[in-house]
Amino acid sequence: QLQLVESGGGLVQAGGSLRLSCTASGRGFSDYSLAWFRQAPGKEREFVAAISWSGDSKYYADSVKGRFTISRDNDDNTVYLQMNSLKPEDTADYYCAAGRALGGSYYITGTYDYWGQGTQVTVAS
């Protein structure tokens, strides 16, 4: 099993940057694909970015492509989400997730077995 803890959220002005981190405890971190999802108040949880176990494959939602970058450090059991050029519509709780099988279902919440508690990101206009 994995336990995931996110950090790095906060309040930022539009156009600013934040880097989210998600650190895992437990065994087998490097065997898991990882993802970031977000959920704004009153909305469903939506896919943001995903990365394969090796880091060779990365996927992004169209809304963040070119602005956000996902990366991982298997030595430190951590996945990152670098967020640049932030917009007010990026305001949400951000969650990291881990799952064994990625494939074509990387954008589906049911693909992932473990979830963190979330970190809040607020982008002021």
Q: Average pLDDT of the chain?
A: 95
Residue in the structure block whose two tokens are 């002021």: 124
Report the Cα–Cα distance between both ends of the chain, in Å, rounded.
40
Q: Is residue 58 within 8 Å of 50, Cβ to Cβ?
A: yes
User: Over the stretch 80-109, which tens digit does the pLDDT of each residue have?
Assistant: 999 999 999 999 999 999 998 777 889 999
CA distance 116 to 120: 12
Nearest to 36 by CA among 86, 88, 93: 93
pLDDT at 104: 80
pLDDT at residue 4, as a whole number: 97
Least reliable range by pLDDT among 7-11, 60-64, 71-75, 101-105? 101-105
Q: How many separate helices (H) and strands (E) can be counted in the chain?
A: 0, 11
